[in-house]
Chain A
Amino acid sequence: MADSERELTMSRAMVDAIAHEMRENEEVFYMGEDVADYGGIFDSTQGLLEEFGRDRIMDVPISETGFIGAGVGAAMEGMRPIVELMFADFFGVAMDQIYNNMAKNTYMSGGSVEVPMVLTTAVGGTYNDAAQHSQTLYGTFAHLPGMKVVVPSTAYDAKGLMHNAVRDDDPVVYMFHKRLMGLAWMPAPAGPKTAVPDEDYVIPFGEADVKREGADVTVVTLGLHVHRALDAAETLADEGVDVEVVDLRTLVPLDEETVLESVRKTGRLVVVDEDYRSFGVTGEITALAAENALDDLAAVERVAMPDVPIPYARPLEEEVNPDADAIVDAVRAVAE
């Protein structure tokens, strides 16, 4: 009875799934910077060292090329590594391992090896960590063929998507937003902490979730901005604008059908992304709607990070990272 009343932070829900998979399958292990004794700087591995020991919860030196490459090798040999890239921003120093090896070895070997690896990585700003530690980079990873890309927005989704990520035989990039994890030093908004079943369950990739149903305007978003969009929808409901919020949950594969169904229903689309505006999620979703639902489409707006390095100063970061008010303005613009 108490189980159903338990609510978990997103970090604890992720750890729940990882621990379950590690108990079920001894080939699963976790490797990354500060994941053992520290428990992950964003609590992604809290408590796992105590249960599984240092052979399966491994701290690694600061060499992303080295340890991500080791993860790819382990995966090709039949293990199921979860490798943490502490900040998505650091992908640059290991891009060859990620893009040319993790993503492509299945193809390059003519399908004779699989790479059942999960690359977990922290994304997002809102805490004044400047241009090299605040990016979301959804578009960068989703652009590169060969990797599935997962972006949870709640504890419930985070657990089900993690179970699926570890069980998937293809490489998965699991991008968790720092602000959603439930850290004491970076309090989460209301929303990501949800009831989470004790038992395991799988959320399939490529299934977006309509987090709020509405008839007037479709907001398509992911990650932290799901919660900002829901806040905006509350405000707009008071004005008589009924907003539907679609949480993509995975970028690769992309649930085109759910997006198009919603756009065909409302005819008005706002795409919200914390990643940069150009060549990213907002452009992709807008193009999807234009190609497939042009006749139903009355108006489109994009709300995203402008194409500038993310500022360190709090007022400047708040200016560039879209808040609920920015979403409200965009919805009003398409609803007119």
Chain B
Amino acid sequence: MNVHRRLLLAGGIAAPALALAVALGVGSTALAIAQAWLLAHVITSAFLDGAGVGAMTPALVALSLVLGARAGLGWAAELVAVRISGRVKADLRARVLAAAVALGPRLAAERSTARTALLATRGLDALDGYYARYVPQLVLALIVPLAVVVSLAFVDLVAALTVALTVPLIPVFMALIGRMSAAYRDRRWAALGRLAHRFADVVAGLPTLRAFGRADAQVATLRRVTDVYRVSTMATLRVAFLSAMVLELLSTISVALVAVGVGLRLVNGDLGLEVGLFALVLAPEAYLPLRRLGTEFHAAEEGVAAAREAFALVDETHGSRLRAGAPSGAEPPAVLAALRVEGLWVEQPGREVAAPAGLSLEVRPGEVVAITGKSGAGKSTLLGTILGFAVPTSGRVAVLGGDRTSMDVTVLDTGSWLARVAWVPQVPYLAPGTVADNVRLGAPGASDTEVADALASVGLADLPLDYAVGERGSGLSGGQRRRVGVARALARRSELLLLDEPTAGLDAEAEARVLAAVRDEARRGAAVLLVAHRPGAVAEADRTVEVRWASLAEPDAPPEDDAAARDLEAVSA
């Protein structure tokens, strides 16, 4: 669907804005015509007839009312536009973020999070220009020229014809401007996004850059990037402004034509001064909305470009194979008897490999199964597939119920399934707030005692619950961050616990505490998958399964090892 139609009609949110813009447009047009007539009348009477203030009191009073009403209408229009724009922005923003979160696990790889955040905030803010100025101006541009031509036709056909012949040229140039500025707008928005991403990346990497003495070199690079941006933007602006210039020339020359034409006919006595002045005051009003529309166009187009990108992102989630956020899947079995992975292959985007390649395993409540394998073998991907963040290329991940009924995780209701699982990624996400806030992210109802117990079980008993955590977990050491992530998972008391290297970065004592807590969870009845490198963690497991990858570039080559053929129970520690 056309982006303008979606912005103006979708959901009826903007319908009141349109109705109001039309009402205000009609009102202000009528006032403009009244003002022109009153001015022409009073000036003519005073100049040619020598009329005094007393004789023209009614006209002067009427004029003051018209002028006041015009000012009031402008004010009302602005207030209403901001309200409408706020509602549309909030609606779009919520939809974009929900879509981005649903795509979340893949988003980081395919789209920069900073760019998406920029789109949802500053990008959509540009819609203010669209609703507050562009749409009302568009309505005026449709009504005013017509009304002016009709009013002029009653008094002076020549002036009316001059305006009627030149005004239609303006939309023609508008179309040209639209085509030319499309390139300008797309490039400007893309460049802004790239610059934002580049800034975020470079700023995040400043410590690294400084360590290698490259920070100062980046100053030059950034200046160069900005300069390239300026040169390319100026090249497009030169064209975009050129068409705007033609537009302005058309309107000012037309006004000059009307003025000169009226003057010459006045000299010949074909026309009265009152009519002449009326034409002079009214003629510019015909071009003003169109001219303003030209200038509002750029501001509006930035919002339209952002809206287009937002709609694309929202639409993408609807067509996506990802289940995250899928509303109505099947309910998982009431009792989890086992999680079974059967011949799982997952192709890695951008790399011609499958990782894992042909993996099979089973884990039951009370068991701790260690997952080992080289870097890039697909250990984290395995956990992602169980969570539903990645889709198997072949093979499947199945949940076994109490009666050994087997359900594929891809058909399960996402919310219901994830509610049964606790997951600790390699680098746990920590939200700005307190340590307790972070533990409660996965267990909103946990009491202070439960939160404290979870922290104590991973050896963080000394960490106050209200200890402040900054962005990306600043304020905590790397080991503490990981353990808060584990405590968060423990507090969920889930049936399936997925841990991605939970003891990396921990000293031996802390590692032992974490592993003991994991063992306690298994004793409580959880099924545990533990991705592990270190012997301590592997030794804690009941069994070990090794994940392997295979090259897809050489299809004849066997996987690193034919893991698929291996008996599920054969690889025991």
Q: Do A and B come from one complex?
A: no
Q: Could you list which residues of chain A lie within 8 angstroms of chain B, going by C-beta atoms?
A: none
Q: Could you list which residues of chain B lie within 8 angstroms of chain A, going by C-beta atoms?
A: none
